Amino acid sequence: MPMTISNDEILETIRMVQMENLDIRTITMGISLRDCSRTDTESTARAIYDKITKKAENLVKAGEQIEREFGIPIINKRISVTPIALVAESSSDQNYPVIAKALDRAAIEVGVNFIGGYSALVHKGKTKGDSALIESLPEALSTTERVCASVNVATTKAGINMDAVAQMGRIIKATAEATAHQGGLGCAKLVVFCNVPEDNPFMAGAFHGVGEPESVINVGVSGPGVVLNAVRKNPEADFGALASTIKHTAFKITRMGELVGRAASAKLGVPFGIVDLSLAPTPAIGDSVADILEAMGLERCGTHGTTAALALLNDAVKKGGAMASSYVGGLSGAFIPVSEDAGMIAAVEVGALTIDKLEAMTCVCSVGLDMIAVPGDTSAETISAIIADESAIGMINRKTTAVRIIPVPGKKVGDHVEFGGLLGHAPVMQVHPFSAQTFINRGGRIPAPLQALNN
Amino acid sequence: MTTKKENRVMVTVIGQDRVGIIAGVATILADAGANILDISQTIMQEEFFAMIMVVDMEGAKLPFDELKITLEEKGKSLGVQIMAQHEDVFKFMHRI
């Protein structure tokens, strides 16, 4: 029987896995909890625990089996659920942390490292369930280990809910205080979004949207190391050739996501949702988005030219990836989380990368100000103003943006905070010392932009 | 796609060339009842030996997981890296 694949191609695949950290970042099972609403939080929590542990019973086992069969590491197996504010709202009491604890227990029981969906969507306003959920965040995130939370405060269609933005500044501060002994770790599990996608498999922002099926398998690919190597091999290439190289590489990475997604879907008898084509860095050396930007010819990530380099990278990843998968979704773009990317950390430490440059970079890549540690005495209003800026970028550009910021209690600029594992460690970054308090205290909504009027 | 095709795996051996690599791997495969459809070898970076075998698992007595572990252990005793992966990985990565 003839070999349809050349030796070079086979060895290339093996090199990508063995030497360049190609892996599947996550298989995330989305589970609808819409049928778990009860009249009190205790019974709701029980229904949620029972449903998750039944639906996701074989998730980890199937993931491990696929890893062995294909020889491709699958780093995380995770679960996303219907935003809990929707599920819990029918409860007569507001003891929402009981539900967070049930999610945590379910995650431990089925063996997933994170469960996302302790979430509320409040871009235009809050219901009583949304209010209760948001108020419960500091307690929920400090008394659980694996639960991830998110709040969507803005969309292009609705504008920015500045009351929610103001509140989230206070909630982030309170969450940092509640987890002060862990460097404010609770805030690393809390994302504030604009234009949140409903099928994102990546944590901490994953939840199972209301338009999603009963359950679904979404896959997040990774592979900055593979792209880095491809860029390094072409030091002389002009931008067209460079973009082409990245596209080819992104195609191959995404094909692995498609393969794993289809295999997991078949094994679990759950429909396949999307592949999220994100370049997700890890703290491992060589698995860094900053390193790719530097390999393109920048002395340090964060210097002038970084935004242009990132725009090229992000666009080429999407173009290559879009060809490789039947269904692309989620966030799909390069991530620039500071604490999870060794190159970003190094760039901050030498003073090349600032919060302002990161904000500019978020205009041309996915997500936003991600895993940024700031001084513990940063005011709630300043954090709200940072969220407002990011939301404005997302709203005007019709894209997802997010803020995951950690005001580390007791730490000041230049200090370090260690979160451990995939969350990495972060240098504490400077924020502007001038106040935005009067602006934030105005309250109300920033109206939907002209971009929303496209019907 | 036929079911037969879906049961093919690629066995790759990478390392310093030495006597007995092909014999060692072929013996394990024969004992497992797995049929070698194709063998090719190449030298990578003028130094490493790379052998690629296409193996049909259709009539295999040993489950894939166990065969994979046996091959990996053999690799350790020969001082080379032996990997067994489902053929789909390669087909998917390079072809639509």
- B90: in domain: no
Q: Is A70 within 8 Å of B86 when comparing Cβ atoms?
A: yes
At A2 the pLDDT is 45
| pLDDT higher than threshold 90 for residue A427 | yes
Q: Which residue of A has its CA nearest to B49?
A: A11
At A19 the pLDDT is 76
DSSP 3-state of B11: strand
Mean pLDDT across the stretch A364-390?
Answer: 95
Distances (CA, A) of A223 to A19, A71, A98, A181, A338: 11, 15, 37, 33, 17
| pLDDT higher than threshold 70 for residue B5 | no
At B6 the pLDDT is 65
Lay out the sheet containing B81-86: strands in order across. B35-44, B48-56, B8-15, B81-86
Mean pLDDT across the stretch A180-201?
Answer: 95
| pLDDT higher than threshold 80 for residue A64 | yes
**CB nearest to A3's CB, from B12, B38, B44:** B38
User: For residue A363, what are the β-bridge partners?
Assistant: none
> Best interface-test mutation with A: which of B39, B70, B94, B95 has the largest number of A CBs within 10 A?
B94
Shortest CA distance to A381 belongs to which of A424, A330, A436, A338?
A436
Q: Say yes or no: B14 contacts chain A, CB-CB below 8 A.
A: yes
Give the gap in angstroms from C-alpha B16 to the nearest C-alpha of chain A: 15
Longest dimension (CA), chain B: 38
Give the gap in angstroms from C-alpha A3 to the nearest C-alpha of chain B: 7
Which ipTM value was assigned to this complex? 0.80
Q: Say yes or no: B36 contacts chain A, CB-CB below 8 A.
A: no
Distance of alpha carbon B37 from its chain centroid, rounded?
Answer: 11
| pLDDT tens, residue by residue, B51-91 | 899 999 988 898 898 999 999 999 999 889 899 999 888 88
B2 band by pLDDT with thresholds 50, 70 and 90: very low
Mean pLDDT across the stretch A91-102?
Answer: 96
**CB nearest to A1's CB, from B37, B64, B92:** B37
| pLDDT tens, residue by residue, A31-44 | 999 999 999 999 99
User: What is the distance between the alpha carbons of residues B34 and B28, in angstroms, rounded to a whole number?
Assistant: 9
Query: What would the CATH number be for the domain defined by A27-194?
Result: 3.20.70.20
| pLDDT higher than threshold 90 for residue A367 | no
With beta carbons under 8 A apart, name residues in chain A contacting B64.
Answer: 68-69
Q: In this structure, what DSSP letter does residue A199 have? A: S
What residue numbers bound the domain in which B20 lies?
Answer: 3-82
DSSP 3-state of A217: strand
At A7 the pLDDT is 82
| CATH code, domain with B27 | 3.30.70.260
**CB nearest to A7's CB, from B52, B84, B95:** B52
Q: Is B91 within 8 Å of A70 when comparing Cβ atoms?
A: no
- B89: in domain: no
- B10: in domain: yes
Highest mean pLDDT among A113-127, B9-23, B61-75: A113-127
| pLDDT higher than threshold 60 for residue A127 | yes
Q: pLDDT > 70: what percent of chain A?
A: 99
- B96: in domain: no
At A1 the pLDDT is 40
Residue with the bigger pLDDT between B48 and A209: it is A209
Other CB atoms within 10 A of residue A63 CB: 25
At B22 the pLDDT is 87
User: What is the distance between the alpha carbons of residues A297 and A37, in angstroms, rounded to a whole number?
Assistant: 54
Highest mean pLDDT among A10-14, A183-187, B89-93: A183-187
DSSP codes joined into one string, A226-280: HHHHHHHT-TT--HHHHHHHHHHHHHHHHHHHHHHHHHHHHHHT--EEEEE--B-
| pLDDT tens, residue by residue, A301-330 | 999 999 999 999 999 999 999 989 989 998
User: What is the distance between the alpha carbons of residues A14 and A9, in angstroms, rounded to a whole number?
Assistant: 9
**CB nearest to A1's CB, from B12, B54, B68:** B54
Omega of the bond leading into A385 within 30 degrees of 0 (cis): no
CATH 3.20.70.20-classified regions of chain A: 27-194, 215-444
Q: Is B94 within 8 Å of A69 when comparing Cβ atoms?
A: no
- B40: in domain: yes
| pLDDT higher than threshold 90 for residue A298 | yes
User: What is the distance between the alpha carbons of residues A269 and A57, in angstroms, rounded to a whole number?
Assistant: 12
Give the amino acid at B18. R
Query: What would the CATH number be for the domain defined by A215-444?
Result: 3.20.70.20
Shortest CA distance to A447 belongs to which of A165, A158, A151, A195?
A158
Shortest CA distance to A264 belongs to which of A78, A49, A105, A81?
A78
Q: Is B42 within 8 Å of A13 when comparing Cβ atoms?
A: no
Q: Is B12 within 8 Å of A255 when comparing Cβ atoms?
A: no
- B93: in domain: no
Q: Is B89 within 8 Å of A11 when comparing Cβ atoms?
A: no
Q: Say yes or no: B45 contacts chain A, CB-CB below 8 A.
A: no
DSSP codes joined into one string, A140-173: HHHH-SSEEEEEEEEETTTEEEHHHHHHHHHHHH
Shortest CA distance to A255 belongs to which of A76, A30, A12?
A12
User: Could you tell me the two tokens for A194?
Assistant: 């604009």
Q: Say yes or no: B39 contacts chain A, CB-CB below 8 A.
A: no
**CB nearest to B44's CB, from A11, A13, A323:** A11
Residue with the bigger pLDDT between A1 and A449: it is A449
Q: Which residue of B has its CA nearest to A323?
A: B96
Q: Say yes or no: B89 contacts chain A, CB-CB below 8 A.
A: yes
The answer to whether A197 touches A155, Cβ cutoff 8 Å, is no
Give the amino acid at A262. R
| pLDDT higher than threshold 90 for residue A271 | yes
Mean pLDDT across the stretch A129-152?
Answer: 97
The answer to whether A359 touches A393, Cβ cutoff 8 Å, is yes
Q: Calculate the dihedral angle through the C-alpha atoms of A65, A68, A74, A79, rounding to the nearest 10 degrees.
A: 0
> Best interface-test mutation with A: which of B5, B54, B93 has the largest number of A CBs within 10 A?
B93
Q: How many CA atoms lie within 13 A of A148 on its CB side?
A: 27
Contacting residues for B27 by C-beta, under 8 A, at least 6 apart? none
| pLDDT higher than threshold 80 for residue A422 | no
With beta carbons under 8 A apart, name residues in chain B contacting A70.
Answer: 85-86, 88-89
**CB nearest to A255's CB, from B37, B85, B93:** B93
> Best interface-test mutation with B: which of A69, A260, A325, A326 has the largest number of B CBs within 10 A?
A69
- B91: in domain: no
Report the residue count for chain A: 455
| Phi, psi values for residue A427, rounded to 5° | -80, 140
With beta carbons under 8 A apart, name residues in chain B contacting A18.
Answer: 81
User: For residue A150, what are the β-bridge partners?
Assistant: A119, A191
What integer best gives the mean pLDDT of chain A? 94
Contacting residues for A390 by C-beta, under 8 A, at least 6 apart? A192, A194, A359, A362, A368, A369, A401, A402, A403
Q: Which H or E run contains A108?
A: helix A97-110
**CB nearest to B12's CB, from A14, A69, A256:** A14
- B88: in domain: no
Report the residue count for chain B: 96
Q: Say yes or no: B22 contacts chain A, CB-CB below 8 A.
A: no
Q: Is B85 within 8 Å of A69 when comparing Cβ atoms?
A: yes
Mean pLDDT across the stretch A157-186?
Answer: 97
At B4 the pLDDT is 47
* Terminal CA-CA length for chain B: 13
The answer to whether A66 touches B85, Cβ cutoff 8 Å, is no
Q: Which H or E run contains A403?
A: strand A401-408
